[in-house]
Structure 1
Amino acid sequence: METYGKIILIAMPVFLLLVLLEKWYGWYKGKETVRTLDMISSLSSGVTNVTKDVLGLGFAVISYEWMVDHLAITKVPAGFLTYFIAFMALDFAGYWIHRIAHEYNFFWNNHIIHHSSEDFNLACALRQSISSIVKIFTIFLLPAALLGVPGQVVAIVAPLHLFAQFWYHTQHIHKMGFLEKIIVTPSHHRVHHAINKEYMDKNYGQIFIFWDKMFGTYQEELPEVPAVYGITRPVRTWNPIKINFMHLWLLIKDAWHAQSWKDKFRIWLMPTGWRPADVAEKFPVYKIEDVYHFEKYETGHSKTLLAWSWIQMTCTLLLISYCFGNIAAIGSPGIFIYGGFIFLQVYAFTDLMDRNRYAWVWESLKCILGFSILIRNGDWFGMNQLINGSTYIMATYLLLSFIASFYISFTESLETEKSGIRNMK
């Protein structure tokens, strides 16, 4: 937990810098691929994901260490070969986990957040799941376990393998010559994120593209078919926590409403998007039919809302950085209370970005929790030892956050209602 937190603490500013650099580059080249609220939504999703991972909110049905202890038939020698085998095993497992997430209803819920952005940029790479609490696909690491690759090697290689998937989420790099035959490139991954019928459910590879060519899921990017991004049932929200569970909620409702008991059970493992015919007729869900003619989700925003969203995102990053840098000192259960605060923080300000009239309710819950922590501990998880007066700083922030969010939630929702009335006229 502590080691992973320190790794993330180093990686976060690097990713943030690259995301902002891509936005500047798009502006400079006259090819903007990053909408501001979408970018903040992506960043907030990244915060929730790393918070969940650092807190260890998940468990494997079969652990990798158990497979090594009980199934290993040999041991690979220490050195480069061990790490190479671990990397290849992770990439092979990643291909199949990724493919299953796309092809089966239940597992799509763990991946929907990553495809939820209707843009394609470095920021959307940070949209990672918080809903995958139970991990059942460790079995795909069986080749490494049979060779006796130590668990600590996999633990080191896994975050490196994940971080190596960041760079190719961009529209600013075109085809890369002979590398297109070996590794996953931006061109390959643009295809993967596209909802064009020519591109759907293709290019599942994470680092190496030859898995797709080997298993029949490869598709080249076609110059005559410009990629359109998102999902065919658009999420219509900036709130990453809502996005993480909306497909699961749809499945639960569909299973409840289905008349056939067979449909109630089979819906979970049917192909992604399948719904019982009677439920689909009674409870239709909007689906994009013409990918070239639909409106991207855009709530509109005042300068005040935009500035406040940036302020809240910045405060969130500062708070999470303190958390990750002081995990041992904060201890348990404090670290989980801190995580709960971060989740409420993200939920509140992204709901406000949606111009939700009741966003202030979530802000209220966050502030109540925050003040409760300050009153109970007389400090913000030991921050006074580093910054004198930090208790007063946090109290002031919480109070101003509540006032600003209360004001903005009503003014922005009122403006939304006025816009709706004007459109009706």
Structure 2
Amino acid sequence: MESYAEVLNYAIPFFISLLLLEALIARWKGASVIRSMDTLSSLSSGLTNVIKDVLGLTVVIVSYDWLESRIGLVEISATWAVYLLAFIGLDFAGYWVHRLSHSINFLWNRHIIHHSSEEFNLGCALRQSISGFFAITVFFLAPVALLGVPGEVIAVAAPLHLFAQYWYHTRLIGKMGLLEHIIVTPSHHRVHHAINPEYLDKNHSQIFIIWDKWFGTFQEELDDAPPVYGVTRPVRTWNPILINFQHLWQLIQDAWRTKDWGAKFTIWFKPTGWRPADVEAAYPVESIKDPYAYEKYAPTLSPHLQLWSWAQFTLTFLLMMFLFNQIGAIGAQGAILYGLFLVFSIFSYSMLMDKSRFAVYSEMVRCLLGLAIIGAQGGNWFGLEKAWGMGPFALGGYFIGSLLVTVYFFQSEVKSAGYEVSRATKTAAPTKRLQS
């Protein structure tokens, strides 16, 4: 818990710096690759994911160390060649987990958040799941476990493998010549994130593109088919918590509603998107038929509300960094309470971004929870008083002020518009590929 939090103290500023650099380059090129609220939703999703990971809220059915100790044929020491072998093994495992996440209904729920953005930029790389409660990658690491690759090597290689997947989520880099045949490039991954029929469920590789070419899932980016991004059943929300469980909720509803008892059990293991015929007919869901003529999710928010949403994110981010820096002193139980409060904070300000009629209620709950935590700790906030004597008092004032500001925006922008949850903007077919 503490060691991963320390790594994130350095990794998060680095990722955000690259995102800002991408925004500056896009502005310099006159390219439209970033929308404010979409990026804010992506960053908010990133916060929920790192909070979950730092708190260790994933059930490990079988640990790699256990697997290696049982099936390892030899014992090998940690040399550079072993680290390379571990990296390749992680990439092989990542390909299959990724492919299965696109292929099986219940596994898609843990991955939909990553594809939910209707843009493609470094921000959407941060859309990572909080709904993957069970770790399954270890089962696909059996080949390297068989070879005796030590667990500590996997522990070092795994975050490097993950972080190395960040850079290629961009439209600002064109095709990369010889590298197109070796590694996953932005061009390959644009295909993967596209909803064009010819691109669906292609290019699952994470670092080395060879897996797609070997296993028949490779698709080159075509000049006459510019990628259109998102998911074929658009999520229609900026709220990362809702996105994380949207597909699961659909599966639960479909399993409950169908009169086919067999389908109630098989729906979970059917191909992604499959629904029982009777439910499909009685309860149709929105699906994009023409990727070049659909409406992007774009609620009409005033500049002031957008600025307030960014302020909410910034304050939540600062509170998260305080958690990561003090996690040892806070303790496991306190850290879980703190983390859950932060996730609910993200849920709450995202509700206002969506112009939801429940935005005030969620913010009221958040305010009361925050004040209750301060009260229960005798006027403190997880040790904040030691760093800043007036900190807990200021934080309590912020919780109350945030509720009042939410009420103001609700009255001026949500209620006055008749609870209009969203307005959409028509998107024309892309006509020109962005090249570096």
Instruction: Give TM-score scaled by structure 2 length.
Output: 0.95
Per-residue CA distance 1:275-313 (angstroms, 9 max, x = gap): 111100000001000111001000011122111011001
Query: For the Cα contact (< 8 Å) 1:358–1:409, is it kept in 2?
Result: no
Aligned to 1:387: 388
Q: AA paired with 2:349?
A: F
Please say which of residues 11-20 and 235-244 is displaced more in the overlay: 11-20
Q: Which runs of 5+ in 1 are unaligned?
A: none
Aligned to 1:351: 351
Aligned to 1:400: 401
Per-residue CA distance 1:69-111 (angstroms, 9 max, x = gap): 1111012232101211111111000000000000111100000
User: Matches of residues 215-294 of structure 1 in structure 2 within 5 Å?
Assistant: 215-294=215-294
Deviation of 1:419 after TM superposition, in Å, equals 7.2
Deviation of 1:260 after TM superposition, in Å, equals 1.0
How far apart in 2 are the matches of 1:116 and 1:372?
35
How far apart in 1 are the matches of 2:183 and 2:142?
23
Per-residue CA distance 1:309-347 (angstroms, 9 max, x = gap): 110011011000010111101102110110111011000
Q: Kindly indicate whether residue 170 of structure 2 is the aligned counterpart of residue 179 of structure 1.
A: no
Query: For the Cα contact (< 8 Å) 1:111–1:129, is it kept in 2?
Result: yes
Change (3 A) 1:71 1:419: closer
Q: Secondary structure at the match of 2:418?
A: helix
Per-residue CA distance 1:244-276 (angstroms, 9 max, x = gap): 001000001101111111111111111111111
Q: AA paired with 1:3?
A: S
User: Matches of residues 17-416 of structure 1 in structure 2 within 5 Å?
Assistant: 17-377=17-377, 378-416=379-417
Query: For the Cα contact (< 8 Å) 2:323–2:338, is it kept in 1?
Result: yes
Please say which of residues 253-262 and 409-418 is displaced more in the overlay: 409-418
Q: AA paired with 2:405?
A: A
How far apart in 1 are the matches of 2:282 and 2:99?
31
Deviation of 1:193 after TM superposition, in Å, equals 0.2
Change (3 A) 1:418 1:283: closer
Q: AA paired with 1:384?
A: E
Q: AA paired with 1:401?
A: S
Please say which of residues 260-269 and 17-26 is displaced more in the overlay: 17-26
Q: Secondary structure at the match of 1:238?
A: coil
Change (3 A) 1:419 1:391: closer
Query: For the Cα contact (< 8 Å) 2:357–2:419, is it kept in 1?
Result: no
Deviation of 1:360 after TM superposition, in Å, equals 1.4
How far apart in 2 are the matches of 1:152 and 1:77?
10
Deviation of 1:415 after TM superposition, in Å, equals 4.2
Deviation of 1:411 after TM superposition, in Å, equals 1.9
How far apart in 2 are the matches of 1:78 and 1:344?
42
How far apart in 2 are the matches of 1:20 and 1:47?
17
Q: AA paired with 2:314?
A: T
How far apart in 2 are the matches of 1:78 and 1:413?
58
Deviation of 1:418 after TM superposition, in Å, equals 8.4
Q: Secondary structure at the match of 1:296?
A: strand
Please say which of residues 402-411 and 336-345 is displaced more in the overlay: 402-411
Query: For the Cα contact (< 8 Å) 2:117–2:124, is it kept in 1?
Result: yes
Per-residue CA distance 1:198-237 (angstroms, 9 max, x = gap): 1111000000100000100000000111000000000000
Q: AA paired with 1:402?
A: L
Deviation of 1:156 after TM superposition, in Å, equals 1.4
How far apart in 2 are the matches of 1:310 and 1:262?
47
Change (3 A) 1:182 1:266: same
How far apart in 1 are the matches of 2:73 and 2:278?
52
Please say which of residues 380-389 and 42-51 is displaced more in the overlay: 380-389
Q: AA paired with 2:398?
A: Y
Per-residue CA distance 1:110-129 (angstroms, 9 max, x = gap): 00000000000000000000
How far apart in 2 are the matches of 1:414 and 1:47?
29
Please say which of residues 75-84 and 332-341 is displaced more in the overlay: 75-84
How far apart in 2 are the matches of 1:38 and 1:355?
14
Query: For the Cα contact (< 8 Å) 2:105–2:268, is it kept in 1?
Result: yes
Deviation of 1:390 after TM superposition, in Å, equals 0.8
Q: AA paired with 2:401?
A: L
Change (3 A) 1:53 1:419: closer
Identity %: 52
Query: For the Cα contact (< 8 Å) 2:78–2:153, is it kept in 1?
Result: no
- Superposition RMSD in Å: 1.5
How far apart in 2 are the matches of 1:163 and 1:276?
39
Q: AA paired with 2:125?
A: A
Q: AA paired with 2:118?
A: E
Deviation of 1:406 after TM superposition, in Å, equals 1.8
Q: AA paired with 2:122?
A: L
Q: AA paired with 2:257?
A: H
Q: AA paired with 1:64?
A: Y
Aligned to 2:7: 7
How far apart in 2 are the matches of 1:418 and 1:91?
46
Query: For the Cα contact (< 8 Å) 1:23–1:32, is it kept in 2?
Result: no
Please say which of residues 170-179 and 71-80 is displaced more in the overlay: 71-80
Query: For the Cα contact (< 8 Å) 1:258–1:264, is it kept in 2?
Result: yes
Query: For the Cα contact (< 8 Å) 2:174–2:186, is it kept in 1?
Result: yes
Per-residue CA distance 1:21-56 (angstroms, 9 max, x = gap): 222221221111010000000000000000000000
